[in-house]
Amino acid sequence: MAAPPASYEKELAAARKAASLAARLCQGVQKSLLQSDVQSKADRSPVTVADYGSQALVSLVLKTELSSESFSLVAEEDSGDLRKDGSQETLRRITNLVNDTLSSDGTYNLSLSEEDVLVAIDSGKSEGGPHGRHWVLDPIDGTKGFLRGDQYAIALGLLDEGKVVLGVLACPNLPLAPVGHSETESLATKVGCLFSARIGAGTYMQSLDGSPPSKVHVSNIENPADASFFESFEAAHSLHDLSSSIATKLGVQAPPVRIDSQAKYGTLARGDGAIYLRFPHKGYREKIWDHAAGCIVVTEAGGIATDAAGNALDFSKGRYLDLDTGIIVTNAKLMPLLLNAVQSSLEEKVQSASPL
Ligand SMILES: Nc1ncnc2c1ncn2[C@@H]1O[C@H](COP(=O)(O)OS(=O)(=O)O)[C@@H](OP(=O)(O)O)[C@H]1O
Ligand SMILES: [Mg+2]
Ligand SMILES: [Mg+2]
Ligand SMILES: [Mg+2]
């Protein structure tokens, strides 16, 4: 008899637990950020003790909760810089953060050594791929937002045979009330959202302090004039001019809402806005951990995420996404109009760049 299809319920519960604990660690660090907590990686992007601590915690919780013989994790950070001379103090601080978070939770009777922390971080070196199960983690997505005190997310997904089957986004600074509507902004004081999605089972949101989850759905707006759109906060991450030309073609009236990280997928999944546009500068290769969790959170809420040519995002190719030009997300009603506007703006861009 064939085995029943996997439900991934146990895995989703473990992912929620892991991301919530990591969020607690990050919140503590954000409150008391010291300059020495921030380092530059080889590509000059920032990394903090919280990125490392979050990655170590998530890897540890998943392994403890799901004691399966094969554990594969594709994650953003590695311990290379922490093993160099001069990093002892940073490693000590990360180890204390991880142990303090574990003991404040009280579920696990564990205390990690510095070497345990390095090993936990390095269990994220998997290459992923089309076969078997692979966890996909961005321990802090939107590190620049985290450093500014703005939006960031702990983003954790699971691939099974190359497909994203569950995803969790912990967004510690995201208001529970809708964002992007100025009239509600001042009321939106309560923050901390946890989004979770499982294939075929919808997307749910709850507060990070433990309210019961409620089902969310993308906006059902059909007229682009009523739509608002999200894009990266950082202009270096997405061509804002191109988004604005697309929005004009569509007849979108509202100005863009710029927020950091995969919190954009979460806000879209609950219908705060209707469109997410992302067009990296030429040559940039998107990583799977920047989109896996966000993608299932928005698609299980009724949204569609594709590349700029309308192809589904393919997470089975290893650590990178192989993409045509950009990523666009919206509801099923608006997608055909959006794709037309994207294609025509991209053609205009090519024409204006080519010599006469
Ligand atoms: N040049 C360039 N182009 C496109 N994307 C880039 C680029 N550089 C970085 N990144 C990735 O963007 C991730 C941050 O997400 P967002 O762009 O959505 O937010 S924000 O604009 O940084 O606020 C960010 O994730 P984190 O490194 O986890 O913060 C990066 O993986
Ligand atoms: Mg990221
Ligand atoms: Mg990151
Ligand atoms: Mg980074």
Give me ligand 1 centre to Cα 55, in Å. 17
- Using the atom order of ligand 1, give the atom closest to the CA of residue 45: 27
Question: And the tokens for 128?
Answer: 């992923």
Neighbours of ion ligand 4 (CB under 5 A): 45, 143
Give me ligand 3 centre to Cα 76, in Å. 6
Residue 87: what residue type? S
- Residue ranges in the chain modelled with pLDDT below 50: 186
Ligand 1 pocket by C-beta < 6 Å: which residues? 45, 76, 138, 140-145, 232-234, 236-237, 260-261, 280-281, 284, 287, 290
How many residues are recorded in the chain? 356
Q: Are 8 and 165 spatial neighbours (Cβ–Cβ below 8 Å)?
A: yes
Burial tier of 342 (Cβ tally within 10 Å: 0-12, 13-18, 19+):
buried
Q: What pLDDT was estimated at residue 355?
A: 63
Q: For residue 248, which of 221, 271, 219, 275 has the smallest C-alpha distance? A: 275
Helix, strand, coil percentages (3-state) for the chain, rounded to 5, are 40, 20, 40
pTM of the model: 0.95
Neighbours of 201 (CB within 10 A): 15
Domains of the chain: 9-216 (3.30.540.10), 224-353 (3.40.190.80)
**Tens of pLDDT along 89-110?**
999 999 999 999 999 999 999 9
Neighbours of 210 (CB within 10 A): 9
Residues identified as active-site: 51, 143
- For residues 140 and 52, give the distance between their C-alpha atoms in angstroms, rounded to a whole number: 9
Query: Strands 73-75 and 133-141: what pairing?
Result: parallel
Q: What pLDDT was estimated at residue 182?
A: 57
Measured from the alpha carbon of residue 41, the closest ligand is: 4
Half-sphere exposure at residue 148, Cβ-oriented, CA atoms within 13 angstroms:
12
Neighbours of 183 (CB within 10 A): 7
Q: Are 249 and 308 spatial neighbours (Cβ–Cβ below 8 Å)?
A: no
- Using the atom order of ligand 1, give the atom closest to the CA of residue 142: 29
What is the complex's ipTM, to 2 decimals? 0.95
Distances (CA, A) of 30 to 26, 51, 64, 144, 226: 6, 11, 27, 12, 36
In the three-class reduction of DSSP (H, G, I as helix; E, B as strand; rest coil), residue 27 is classed as helix
Distances (CA, A) of 51 to 18, 24, 196: 14, 12, 21
CA 242 to chain CA mean position, Å: 23
Give me ligand 1 centre to Cα 189, in Å. 26
Q: Are 68 and 8 spatial neighbours (Cβ–Cβ below 8 Å)?
A: no
